Amino acid sequence: MSQDILLYMMGGVAALLVAIIIAYIYINKNNKDKKYINQLQAGTKESSFSMEVMYQKLYMFYLKTPFLKRYILKLRRRLEIINLDDEYLTRNRASKILTKALLIIIPLTIGIIILTSKNLLLMCILLIFEVFMVDTVIDGMVDKIDNNLLKQQIHFFSQIRHAYNEFNMVEEAIYQTAQDDDNPEMSRQAEKIYEVLISNDPESELEKYYDIAPNSYLKEFAGVSYLTKEFGDRKVDGASLYLKNLNNITQEMQLEILKRDKLNYVFQSLSVIAIVPMLAIEPIKNWAVSQFSFTASFYQGKDGMLVQILLLVLTFVCYILTRKLKDNGSTSMNTKNTENPWQEKLYRIKPIKKIVDLFIPKEGTKENRKIKKQMKDAACKDKIEWIYINRLTLCIVSFFVSLFLFSQLHQITINNVYTDPTTTYDIIGAMTEKAQKSAMELTQSDNDYINAFKNEANLKQDKIAAAMKSGRINDTYSHAKDAEIEKAAERVIGKIGIVNSEYLSWVEVLGAMVIAMIAYMAPILMLIFQTKMRQLEMEDEVMQFQTIILMLMRIERVNVEIILEWLERYANIFKDPLSKCINNYESGAWEALEAMKEDVTYEDFIRIIQSLQSAVEKIPIKDAFDELDTERDYYQAKRKESNERLISKKGMIGKGIGFAPMVVLFVGYLIVPLVFIGLSSMTDSFNTLSSM
């Protein structure tokens, strides 16, 4: 037996030796590989800390983090269009922007938690609201990159003019100018346009580029460059038509940059002004209670909480409207996930689909056509099913949240009855520590009687007074006078009445239903608001159409159909009537234009349609739009004045919306309560003095 054990031990030692040898060989091989890799990296590796590498690592971290993944992908969708085929730069910029946004949001979150630590409801609402603030910060940073691209385009077009005069070839001028490293974003776009122009099928490649171009001005430049390459350049008034068209596009971009700068200046602080009142609710409440103790019943009671909720809802609505108002005329790309959003995932669930379909108007009905028209007028990219899922979700959530808040308001009132110091408040100033202690002892005594009698039916004040005299519940009034007991019994029965009356009533259920119906209409009201804001942009879009026609009308072989295709490509507000006209064009050009004239009501656009009708059968295109060229200076001045009016209107509306929460905060939450409760306290004091 001992020999067997010895053999097992020798076998184990041998196996261990073999394992050690194998491990040594493996480790040695890995060390050689690491040395080789280190040698390869020696010439390329950063010798010190690299922010570029850190942003790449942060990008991967954000991509794996559930909450942050949404924002990093949204950023990516916008930036990858500007950074064509540059994955490294796209990741770097997306990570950099999100990191900066988090550095702003995280301290703000800590501040909110500190300021609202005693009000959990307010804290939760503010933290949820911060989710929307992240969008504002991120959009602002991406818009800055978008604006820089526009400024680079102006510099690029200036260089193109010199290169074109030198080479007299569109594609060669673009290629030479694209080598400029000072404007990397524009150089990438120029290289892409150059690849389109020299491809075997430039027309189809150009259509693909139209889908990914970051703004309409690059589409215009690519289109004009393609037409010039295909049909050749010509002299107009002794100057190159291609260079004149570049000049027209440059002027359009300059007007757009001025417009954006002015809009940013007008709106740069309105979003913050709309949010600030939310952060000031708790400090104002604490200050008012500490300085005027008689206001504690309002700020710590049901009425104060109700005003807080209304103020938060108003702030949220004003913040959303301010963003919509500013972004309405922006050329920024749509970064919403339109393929598979949460609404689509929800709609695929069969029971939910059946319920939603019950609310969606049937195809062909007047209501269905009305909703779809509102969506088109507002340039809404959502499906009608998604709109109704939003409506139903808001309706259901608002109903239950309203019921919860109403029940919480009742609970707050009951808690105040049990916890508020029972004493006559001073008109100004707070109670002393001794008075506070005495008032709380009186509150505890009253609580004993409330708990003893609150469930009795047909309770009379005499019964409470008798219990106080007997000292059966507590001995607070065992040696008190009859007048003091009578006053205490009256106070206790009043408190019992408050406790017993604080329950969810049918009126509040009806109020929750009304709030739910308003929430159900909110998406439609938002569509109407967006439509109204888009109508402000009509004049600006028609003037863009005039610039496009001015560029095309002197190019040979350009006809009305090509002009309509260009207008439809760059249209926003008038996109649907133009698309319909192009679809019907083959069946009759004049009739299709006449039908489009009936679909629109804007006078300046109708004038363009009438000129296009003249160009179809009667006169050449350049004669039909001759006034655009002869009165170019007038139209430029009109365009500037139109932009000024647009910015003025938006600014006036934006200021009214942005300052509304601030006005409600100071008037409705501070001044009115102080005045009203102060006057009530003074009236009670005078009545007491008179009775004495």
Structure tokens at 128: 């949820």
Q: Which of 104-113, 461-470, 579-588, 640-649 has maximum average pLDDT?
A: 579-588
Query: What single string gives the DSSP state of each residue in 372-413?
Result: HHHHHHTT--S-HHHHHHHHHHHHHHHHHHHHHHHHHHHHHH
46 Cβ neighbours under 8 A, 6+ residues apart = 53
Angstrom distance (rounded) from CA 277 to CA 311: 8
pLDDT score, position 396: 92
The residues spanned by each domain of the chain are 69-268, 337-533
CA separation for the pair 194, 224 (Å, rounded): 13
Please report how the helices 216-231 and 560-570 are oriented relative to each other, as an axis angle in degrees rounded to 10.
Answer: 160
Confidence of residue 48 (pLDDT cuts 50, 70, 90): low
280 vs 273: CA distance, rounded Å: 11
The residues facing 292 across adjacent strands are: 429
- Taking 70 as the threshold, does the pLDDT of residue 20 lie above it? no
Indicate if the pLDDT at residue 120 is higher than 60: yes
Q: Distance (Å, rounded) from C-alpha 66 to C-alpha 223?
A: 41
Angstrom distance (rounded) from CA 462 to CA 312: 45
Tokens of 175: 């290629």
pLDDT (tens digit, 9 = 90+) per residue, 366-381? 888 888 888 877 777 7
The encoded tokens of residue 575 equal 């996109």
Residue 142's pLDDT is 78
Q: Which helix (H) or strand (E) holds 638?
A: helix 632-666
Give the pLDDT score at 432.
66
Average pLDDT score over residue span 460-476: 76
Find the mean pLDDT for residues 22-32.
61
Closest CA relative to residue 526, chosen from 317, 357, 332: 317
513 vs 510: CA distance, rounded Å: 5
C-beta atoms surrounding 500 within 10 Å = 14
Mean pLDDT on 292-298: 75
Q: Read off the tokens for 309.
A: 């909720």
Q: Residue 369: its pLDDT value, please?
A: 85
Question: What separation, in Å, do the N-terminal and C-terminal C-alpha atoms of the chain show?
Answer: 113
Separation CA 626–CA 632 (nearest Å)? 10
423 residue type, one letter: T
What does the alpha-carbon distance between residue 522 and residue 527 come to, in Å, rounded to a whole number?
A: 9
Q: What is the DSSP string of 4-55?
A: HHHHHHHHHHHHHHHHHHHHHHHHHHHHHHHHHHHHHHTTTS-SS--HHHHH
Highest mean pLDDT among 313-322, 392-401, 489-498, 683-692: 392-401
Rounded CA-CA distance 79/89 in Å is 9
Q: Is 661 exposed, middle or buried (0-12, 13-18, 19+ CB in 10 A)?
A: buried
- Summarised one tens digit per residue, pLDDT across range 192-238 is 888 888 888 888 888 888 888 888 888 888 888 888 888 888 887 77
pLDDT at 85: 65
pLDDT number for residue 333? 43
Q: Are 119 and 282 within 8 A, CB to CB?
A: yes
Contacts for 95 with CB less than 8 Å, ≥ 6 apart: 55, 56, 58, 59, 62, 72
| pLDDT for res 1 | 44
The pLDDT, as a whole number, for residue 551 is: 83
Q: pTM, whole model, 2 decimals?
A: 0.70
pLDDT per position as a tens digit, 547-565? 888 888 877 778 888 888 8
Residue 329, pLDDT score: 43
pLDDT in tens, 382-431: 888 888 898 999 999 999 988 988 888 888 888 877 777 776 455 455 56
The model's confidence at residue 487, banded by pLDDT at 50, 70 and 90, is confident
For residue 659, is pLDDT > 70? yes
Token readout for 547 is 């610039």
Is the pLDDT reported for residue 454 higher than 60?
yes
Q: What is the pLDDT of residue 424?
A: 47
Per-residue pLDDT tens over the stretch 342-359: 788 888 888 888 888 888
User: In which region does residue 456 sit, left (phi positive, over 0), alpha (psi from -120 to 50) or beta (all else)?
Assistant: beta
Tokens of 440: 């709380």
Residue 239 or residue 17, greater confidence: 239
* Cβ neighbours of 330 (radius 10 Å): 12
Q: Which of 113-117, 239-243, 500-504 has the lowest mean pLDDT?
A: 113-117
